[in-house]
Amino acid sequence: MTFMEFFHAEWMWFAGLAVVFILIIMNEIKTVKHKAFIISAAKALQLSNNDEAIFVDIRDADTFKKSHIPSSVHVAAEQLATKLVDGTRFKDKVIILYCDSGATSIDKVEKLRKEHANLSLFSLQGGLNGWLQTNLPVESSKK
C-alpha cells in the first residue's frame, strides 16, 4: 500500500490530525500574545516605587475594600475605558490592571490596547494571588 492509497483510505484521520495541529498552533500564538501584556510583580513594584506606574484594581468594590495592593485605585471593569482615557492621574504612567487571578485583567488589557493603542497597559502576572505568592503586602480599606 502506497502513501497515497493509505491517505485516501484514512483521510478522516488526516483531517482530524490537521485540525488538532491547527488548534495547537492557535493556542501557542494566543499564549505568546498574552505574555507580551503581562508584567511580573517584581517589575510592577519597581515601576510603582519609581512613580512610573499605577495599580488599578478591577475587582468589585467590596473585594477591593477587603484587600488590595497598597496605593492601588479601584476602577469598575465596565468603567475602565472612560476612566483610563479621561483620567489625568493615569497620564504618562504605566497602568497595571489586576484582578484575583489575572485572567480577567489580561482580557481587559487586550481589549483596551486594541481600542486605545496610546495607553501603556499591562496585566499583573497572577493577579492579586500572584502578588500574595511573592509575599508582597496588601492593605484593606477602613469602612
Whose cell is 490530525? That residue is 17
- 48 lies in some domain: yes
Q: Count structural domains, the chain.
A: 2
Q: How many C-beta atoms lie closer than 10 Å to residue 130's C-beta?
A: 19
- 138 lies in some domain: no
Whose cell is 495541529? That residue is 21
pLDDT above 90 as % of the chain: 55
pLDDT for res 17: 92
Of the candidate ranges 67-71, 88-92, 111-115, the one whose mean pLDDT is the lowest: 88-92
Structural domain including 22 reads 3-34
Question: Residue 135: pLDDT above 90?
Answer: yes
Residues 57, 18, single domain; the answer is no
**How far, in Å, CA of 38 to CA of 44, rounded?**
10
Cα-flanking dihedrals φ and ψ of residue 35, to 5°?
Answer: -60, -25
Pairing of β 121-124 and β 73-74:
unpaired
- Say if CB 97 and CB 56 are below 8 A apart: yes
pLDDT for res 97: 95
pLDDT for res 87: 66
